[in-house]
C-alpha cells in the first residue's frame, strides 16, 4: 500500500469513531446526472445464455424481462487483473453515456460463517492491493459501487480481532475510492432486515467507515420488499443520528423482491423479479438490480447441485412469473 494512503488510514484510525459524518463524504458529483441512464451489461449471464440458446422457449422472456434490464456486474477473484477489468467495464459504459453498477466482492475471509460464497482475497494486504486497483480502474468516470455484500452481517462466527481486521479493510477500501474514484458513489453493504438488528448494524456501519461512503446498500441477493427495507433503513439512520450525528442515503436490491421473502435466503422458491433499476423509489436513493435474477446462491433450495453465481435458466424463467 502506498505510504500516503497508509498514513491517511493510520491517522483516521487514531481518531474516535465518527461523531459526525465528514462534510466531504458526499462531495462527489451526482454520477446519475453525468450520464443518460443506467448501463445494460451486454455480457450478463442471462444475456449470454439467451444469445446462445435462441431456440429455447424460455430465451425470449429471459432476454426481454431480465437481460435488457440494467444490473450490476460483480467483480472478484474470477475477474483477472482487476484494474483492467473495472476500467474496461466502466469504459464501455462511458462510451454509451450510461452509468455502470459494480459490486466489489473479494473480501478476505468472505462469507466465513455462511460458506456458500466463501473465498476472497488471500490476505488483508492482498485485499488492499485488489481494492486499490479496482478503484483506480474506475478513475474519474461516473459509477455506482456496492462494497462487499455480506461483510457486515457475517460476524457470528468471527473473533473480535477478525471483526476489527475486517472493519479496517473496509475503511481502507472507502478511502481508496474517495481518493482515486471521485465520481463514484459507493454504498457500504448493510445486509438485510432479517439478518442483524438495525441498532447493531448502525454501529457496524459506523465502525467500518460509513462516513466515508455515499451511503449503504440493503437486500443484496435477498427478497425483502422495498417497504421492509425502507423501514429498516429508517431505523438504521435513526440510530446513526442519535449516536453519531449523521444519516446516509440507501439503495435497495430489487432484483428478486417482487414477491417478498418467504423466510429462506438461499435459492428460495416462488420468488419474483422486482422493480427494474431506477433512480429513487420507496424512500431509497436508487432501486438497483444487484443480484442477477437466475444466478444461483449456491447448492441449495431450487438450485440443487449448482454453484454460487451459476446461471440457472429455469430459475430465471420462473422468477419472471413468480412460480
Within 10 A of 16 (CB to CB), how many other CB atoms are there?
5
- What is the spatial distance between Cα 249 and Cα 293, in angstroms, rounded to a whole number? 25
Bridge partners of 189, per DSSP, are 217
Task: Concatenate the DSSP letters of all residues of 195-244 into one string.
Answer: TS-HHHHHHHHHHTTGGGSSEEEE-TT----HHHHHHHHHHHHHHHHHHH
Task: From residue 133, give the alpha-carbon distance in Å to each of 3, 70, 127, 180, 247.
Answer: 16, 24, 10, 10, 29
Which own/partner pairs from 88-97 qualify as long-range (CB within 8 Å, at least 24 positions apart)?
Answer: 88/137, 89/41, 90/137, 90/138, 90/139, 90/141, 90/143, 91/141, 92/39, 93/35, 93/39, 93/141, 93/143, 94/141, 94/142, 96/39, 97/35, 97/36
In 3D space, the residue among 309, 314, 293 whose CA is nearest the CA of residue 56 turns out to be 314
C-alpha cell at 177: 475510492
Q: Annotated catalytic residue: which of 41, 56, 111, 150?
A: 150
- What is the spatial distance between Cα 72 and Cα 285, in angstroms, rounded to a whole number? 16
Q: Respond yes or no: is residue 150 known to be catalytic.
A: yes
Cβ(248)–Cβ(21) under 8 Å?
yes
Task: From residue 129, give the alpha-carbon distance in Å to each of 1, 11, 24, 123.
Answer: 7, 19, 24, 10
Q: Is the dihedral of CA 98, 90, 40, 76 positive or negative?
A: negative
Cβ(1)–Cβ(128) under 8 Å?
yes
Helix (H, G, I), strand (E, B) or coil at 59: helix
Within 10 A of 308 (CB to CB), how many other CB atoms are there?
20
Active site residue ranges: 150
Amino acid at each position: 500500500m502506498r505510504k500516503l494512503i497508509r498514513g491517511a488510514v493510520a491517522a483516521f484510525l487514531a481518531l474516535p469513531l465518527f461523531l459526525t459524518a465528514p462534510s466531504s463524504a458526499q462531495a462527489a458529483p451526482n454520477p446519475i446526472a453525468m450520464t443518460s441512464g443506467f448501463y445494460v451489461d451486454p455480457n450478463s449471464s442471462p444475456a449470454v445464455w439467451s444469445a446462445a440458446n435462441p431456440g429455447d422457449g424460455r430465451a425470449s422472456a429471459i432476454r426481454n424481462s431480465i437481460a435488457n434490464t440494467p444490473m450490476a456486474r460483480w467483480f472478484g477473484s474470477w475477474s483477472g487483473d482487476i484494474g483492467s477489468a473495472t476500467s474496461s467495464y466502466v469504459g464501455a459504459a462511458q462510451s454509451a453515456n450510461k452509468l455502470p453498477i459494480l459490486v466489489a466482492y473479494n473480501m478476505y475471509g468472505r462469507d466465513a460463517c455462511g460458506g456458500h460464497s466463501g473465498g476472497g482475497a488471500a490476505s488483508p494486504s492482498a485485499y488492499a492491493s485488489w481494492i486499490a486497483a479496482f478503484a483506480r480502474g474506475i478513475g474519474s468516470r461516473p459509477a455506482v459501487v456496492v462494497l462487499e455484500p455480506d461483510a457486515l452481517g457475517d460476524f457470528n462466527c468471527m473473533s473480535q480481532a477478525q471483526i476489527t481486521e475486517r472493519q479496517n479493510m473496509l475503511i481502507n477500501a472507502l478511502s481508496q475510492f474517495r481518493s482515486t474514484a471521485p465520481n463514484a458513489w459507493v454504498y457500504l453493504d448493510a445486509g438485510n432486515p432479517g439478518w442483524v438488528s438495525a441498532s447493531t448494524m448502525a454501529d457496524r456501519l459506523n465502525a467500518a467507515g460509513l462516513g466515508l461512503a455515499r451511503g449503504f446498500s440493503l437486500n443484496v441477493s435477498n427478497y425483502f420488499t422495498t417497504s421492509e427495507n425502507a423501514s429498516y433503513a429508517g431505523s438504521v439512520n435513526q440510530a446513526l443520528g442519535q449516536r453519531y450525528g449523521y444519516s446516509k442515503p440507501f439503495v435497495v436490491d430489487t432484483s428478486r423482491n417482487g414477491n417478498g421473502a418467504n423466510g429462506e435466503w438461499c435459492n428460495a422458491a416462488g420468488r419474483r423479479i422486482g422493480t427494474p433499476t431506477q433512480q429513487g423509489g420507496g424512500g431509497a436513493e436508487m432501486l438497483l438490480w444487484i443480484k442477477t435474477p437466475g444466478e444461483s446462491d449456491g447448492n441449495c433450495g431450487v438450485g440443487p447441485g449448482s454453484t454460487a453465481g451459476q446461471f440457472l435458466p429455469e430459475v430465471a424463467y420462473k422468477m419472471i412469473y413468480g412460480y
